[in-house]
Chains A and B, each alone.
Chain A
Amino acid sequence: MQKFEVHQGLVVPLDRANVDTDAIIPKQFLKSIQRSGFGPNLFDAWRYLDEGRPGQDCATRPLNPDFVLNQPRYAGASVLLARENFGCGSSREHAPWALEDYGFRVVIAPSFADIFFGNCFKNGVLPIVLPAASVDALFRAVEAQPGYRLTVDLPAQKVRLPDGSEFAFDIDNFRKYCLVEGLDDIGLTLRQADRIRAFESARRTAQPWLFKEGAR
Chain B
Amino acid sequence: MPAQTLYDKLWSSHVVSAEDDGTTLLYIDRHLVHEVTSPQAFEGLRLAGRSLWRASSILATADHNVPTTAVKEIADPVSRLQVSTLDDNCSRLGITEFAMGDRRQGIVHVIGPEQGATLPGMTVVCGDSHTSTHGAFAALAMGIGTSEVEHVMATQCLISRKARSMLVRVDGALGPGVTAKDIALAVIGVIGTAGGTGHAIEFGGSAIRGLSMEGRMTVCNMAIEAGARNGLVAVDDTTIEYLRGRPYSPDDSEWQAAVAVWRELHSDAGAGFDRVVEIDAATIEPQVTWGTSPEMVSPVGGRVPDPAAESDPVRRQGMEKALAYMGLRANMPITEITIDKVFIGSCTNSRIEDLRAAAAVVRGRHVAASVRLAMVVPGSGLVKAAAEAEGLDRVFMAAGFEWRNPGCSMCLGMNDDRLAPGERCASTSNRNFEGRQGAGGRTHLLSPQMAAAAAIAGHFVDVRTLAA
A and B are partners in one complex rather than unrelated chains: yes
B-binding residues in A (CB < 8 A): 15-18, 20, 22-23, 26-28, 30-35, 45, 51-52, 54-55, 83-85, 88-93, 96, 111-115, 118-119, 122-123, 172-175, 184-186, 189-190, 192-193, 195-196, 199-200, 203, 207-216
Asked if A200 and B27 make an inter-chain contact with CB atoms under 8 angstroms apart, the answer reads: yes
CA distance A172 to B116 in the complex (A): 36
**Residues of A contacting B117 in the complex (Cβ-Cβ under 8 angstroms):** 214
Please give the distance in Å from B183's CB to the nearest CB on chain A: 20
CA distance A33 to B171 in the complex (A): 46
Q: Quick one: which of B127, B150, B257 contacts A186, CB cutoff 8 A?
A: B150
**Residues of B contacting A15 in the complex (Cβ-Cβ under 8 angstroms):** 314, 317
Instruction: Say whether, besides A172-B22, A173-B23, A33 and B159 are in contact (CB < 8 Å).
Output: no
From A83, A112, A172, A210, residue with most partner B Cβ within 10 Å = A210
**Please, what's the 1-or-0 string for B2-39, where 1 marks a CB less than 8 Å from any CB in chain A?**
00000000000000110101110101010000001101
B242 located at the interface, meaning its Cβ lies under 8 Å from any Cβ of chain A in the complex: no
Asked if A214 and B314 make an inter-chain contact with CB atoms under 8 angstroms apart, the answer reads: no
**Residues of A contacting B154 in the complex (Cβ-Cβ under 8 angstroms):** 186, 189-190
Pick from B190-198, B208-216, B277-285 the stretch touching chain A.
Answer: B190-198
Instruction: Say whether, besides A31-B82, A123-B147, A209-B250, A195 and B16 are in contact (CB < 8 Å).
Output: yes
**Residues of B contacting A89 in the complex (Cβ-Cβ under 8 angstroms):** 129, 431, 433
A-binding residues in B (CB < 8 A): 16-17, 19, 21-23, 25, 27, 29, 36-37, 39-40, 43-44, 48, 50, 53-54, 56, 59, 64-65, 76, 78-79, 81-82, 85, 96, 115, 117, 119, 121-122, 127-129, 131, 143-148, 150-151, 154-157, 159, 161, 163, 193-194, 197-198, 227, 229, 247-251, 254, 257-258, 261, 293, 314-315, 317-318, 321, 412-414, 421, 431, 433-436, 439-440
Asked if A83 and B16 make an inter-chain contact with CB atoms under 8 angstroms apart, the answer reads: no
Q: Quick one: which of A27, A90, A112, A175 contacts B128, CB cutoff 8 A?
A: A90
A selection of 22 A-B contacts at a CB cut-off of 8 Å is: A16-B314, A16-B317, A18-B193, A22-B412, A22-B431, A22-B435, A33-B39, A33-B43, A34-B40, A35-B44, A51-B440, A85-B197, A89-B129, A90-B128, A93-B145, A114-B198, A115-B144, A189-B151, A209-B249, A209-B258, A212-B248, A214-B96
**Residues of B contacting A211 in the complex (Cβ-Cβ under 8 angstroms):** 56
Asked if A33 and B40 make an inter-chain contact with CB atoms under 8 angstroms apart, the answer reads: yes
Asked if B194 and A122 make an inter-chain contact with CB atoms under 8 angstroms apart, the answer reads: no
Asked if A214 and B434 make an inter-chain contact with CB atoms under 8 angstroms apart, the answer reads: no
Please give the distance in Å from B451's CB to the nearest CB on chain A: 21
Closest A residue to B15 using CB positions: A199
Asked if A214 and B248 make an inter-chain contact with CB atoms under 8 angstroms apart, the answer reads: yes
Closest B residue to A34 using CB positions: B40
Given A22-B412, A30-B64, A189-B154, 6 additional A-B pairs, CB 8 A: A45-B439, A91-B37, A114-B227, A115-B129, A172-B23, A193-B155
Instruction: Say whether, besides A28-B414, A33-B85, A186-B151, A91 and B197 are in contact (CB < 8 Å).
Output: no
Instruction: Say whether, besides A91-B127, A114-B229, A200 and B156 are in contact (CB < 8 Å).
Output: yes
Asked if A55 and B78 make an inter-chain contact with CB atoms under 8 angstroms apart, the answer reads: yes
Closest A residue to B155 using CB positions: A189
Asked if A212 and B251 make an inter-chain contact with CB atoms under 8 angstroms apart, the answer reads: yes
CA distance A195 to B26 in the complex (A): 11
CA distance A145 to B250 in the complex (A): 65
Asked if A91 and B144 make an inter-chain contact with CB atoms under 8 angstroms apart, the answer reads: yes
Asked if B436 and A22 make an inter-chain contact with CB atoms under 8 angstroms apart, the answer reads: yes
**Residues of B contacting A90 in the complex (Cβ-Cβ under 8 angstroms):** 128-129, 431
Please give the distance in Å from B148's CB to the nearest CB on chain A: 7
Please give the distance in Å from B143's CB to the nearest CB on chain A: 4
Q: Quick one: which of A17, A22, A92, A174 contacts B37, CB cutoff 8 A?
A: A92
